[in-house]
Amino acid sequence: MRCYKCGGTLTEADRCPQCGADTALYKKAVMASNAYYNLGLAKARVRDLSGAAESLKTSIMINKNNTDARNLLGLVYCEMGEVVEALSEWVISKNLKPENNPASSYIAQIQSNQSRFDMVTGTVKKYNTALKYAKEGNLDMATIQLKKIVVQNPQLIKAHQLLALLYIKDKEYGRAKKLLNSVLKIDRNNTLAQLYLKEIDDELQLRKKQSSQSDFLPKKREKKVPDTKPLSGNDVIMPRSSYKEPSNGAITIINILAGVAIGAALIWFLVMPSRYKGITEEYNKSLQDYSEQLSSGNVELNSMTQELEKVRSEKEALEEKLSGLSGDSGSNKLLTAVIKAANLYIANDTVAAAEALIDLDVSSLPTDEAKKLYNTVAEATMKPAANEFYNKGTTEYGKADYSSAAENFVNAFKCDSTKAEAAYYAAKCYVALNQPENAKKYYQYIVEGFQSSSYYSEADAYVKSH
């Protein structure tokens, strides 16, 4: 055992022989951490993964430098389908102990199969979406999403448990039991799965009991029909009537026609007025909706026209000022770029206008009029252009054209610095292009500005490991 202060070898004494630091409590903490590590290792060997995870968490809480416990916890997480949590533990372990640490090989093994890693991390995002659907009461969408996750990542215990819970709610106990038994094959002593199975068994027992009780309830006695007795001399026999309905076909046709006429009259006087009233109300409502849309469209058109006129006037003022200047200095180039962007915006080419402004530093513009024009055009073009660049990048990313995709994702992030997904996929493209410095740069943007996003864990792990 090493001293926490100087790194010297400790003896049985309560003080370090080299620096004299009091190590009594430190020794107890290390021994307790190791005991929980051994307990976690024993549970992991018999596939009690959730119990092993709890013991290993306790071990790390007592001694955060216990890299053996962190590495084993990462392996347990990986076996439970939670690869992102596993990577986090291995990255921390590698930072605590850079040399001769098996965590390095674990990380390399995960990163070597990028497509598999992307698929697994994608299932984690889908699980979060399904959980959100379930909390909002949209159970059908949650069930569909979870079915896909279970197929793609059969190790993800949380997805199995949530889908089983939804099946239990719909009283599909057979499907729920199948999922929970799959969980117990992965994690033998999973408490939640055992609790759900007990609830299912209790419900099935209750149904069986109610069914068996209903079998023993007294049945209704059926009334016996008395047997017909033979006629006696006192019985009266009624003769058959000889009256017959007239068989004239004309009367039958007249009755049918009269019934049709009465039915038509009822429909005309009772049904049609309410029908016409409903059609009229629907028409009036549609007319009102169209009128409101038209008025809002006119207001928006007037607003856009005014903004366009404002841009034109600012551009003309800037052109006049530029015409008084000569040469090809840096200030003139900036002014020319702003005017070019304004012309493109007036020509309704939003993406090109934004592209002309992407790398311009507004603080470097020489006049207030130029800054004002820059702000006006940027406000109108940057966010729509960011969406355009992002969509192009997504298409190119799907075709594995990572160079073009990276350029478009970078432009999207420059146009809209709140678009975390643009920075994330730019970093992914640079990883695919083997440009770790650029990848780290865009992962760093996520670490610094988007801690609450779903991309944070992956970005933080990459930044810490490079």
pLDDT tens digits, one per residue of 205-233: 888 887 776 655 555 555 554 545 554 44
Residue that terminates a domain, selected from 211, 240, 268: 211
Residue 96 burial (C-beta neighbours within 10 Å; 0-12, 13-18, 19+): middle
At 36 the pLDDT is 92
Asked whether residue 274 is domain-assigned, the answer is: no
Asked whether residue 283 is domain-assigned, the answer is: no
Same domain, 108 and 147: no
CATH of the domain at 180: 1.25.40.10
Same domain, 134 and 108: no
Same domain, 162 and 107: no
Q: Provide the token pair at 119.
A: 């698929």
Mean pLDDT, contiguous 10-residue spans, the chain (466 residues):
68 72 78 91 91 92 90 91 85 87 87 79 86 89 89 88 90 89 89 89 84 60 51 49 52 74 70 60 64 58 67 66 47 72 78 81 72 80 88 87 91 89 91 90 91 88 88
At 288 the pLDDT is 67
Give per-residue pLDDT as tens, 73-89: 999 998 888 888 888 88
Enclosing domain of residue 165: 118-211
Same domain, 108 and 160: no
Asked whether residue 298 is domain-assigned, the answer is: no
What's the Cα-to-Cα distance from 53 to each of 30, 70, 86, 156, rounded to whole Å? 18, 10, 11, 15
Same domain, 32 and 104: yes
Residue that terminates a domain, selected from 211, 241, 263: 211
| DSSP-assigned states of every residue in 342-398 | HHHHHTT-HHHHHHHHTT--GGG-SSHHHHHHHHHHHHHHHHHHHHHHHHHHHHHHH
At 248 the pLDDT is 54
What span, in angstroms and rounded, lies between the C-alpha atoms of 90 and 104?
7
Same domain, 203 and 146: yes
Residue 99 burial (C-beta neighbours within 10 Å; 0-12, 13-18, 19+): exposed
Output phi, psi for 351, to 5 deg: -65, -45
At 91 the pLDDT is 87
Same domain, 181 and 103: no
Decide: 459 and 447 in contact? Cβ < 8 Å: yes
At 327 the pLDDT is 43
At 267 the pLDDT is 67
Asked whether residue 334 is domain-assigned, the answer is: yes
What's the Cα-to-Cα distance from 79 to each of 116, 153, 310, 461, rounded to whole Å? 15, 11, 61, 19
What span, in angstroms and rounded, lies between the C-alpha atoms of 86 and 117?
12
Asked whether residue 226 is domain-assigned, the answer is: no
Asked whether residue 390 is domain-assigned, the answer is: no
Decide: 55 and 41 in contact? Cβ < 8 Å: no
End-to-end CA distance of the chain: 30
Asked whether residue 465 is domain-assigned, the answer is: no
Residue that terminates a domain, selected from 363, 385, 407: 385
Asked whether residue 276 is domain-assigned, the answer is: no
At 349 the pLDDT is 82
Same domain, 39 and 91: yes
What span, in angstroms and rounded, lies between the C-alpha atoms of 344 and 360?
16
Same domain, 151 and 203: yes
- Domains in the chain, number: 3
Same domain, 99 and 44: yes
What span, in angstroms and rounded, lies between the C-alpha atoms of 139 and 169?
10
Same domain, 336 and 354: yes
At 220 the pLDDT is 52
At 276 the pLDDT is 57
Same domain, 69 and 35: yes
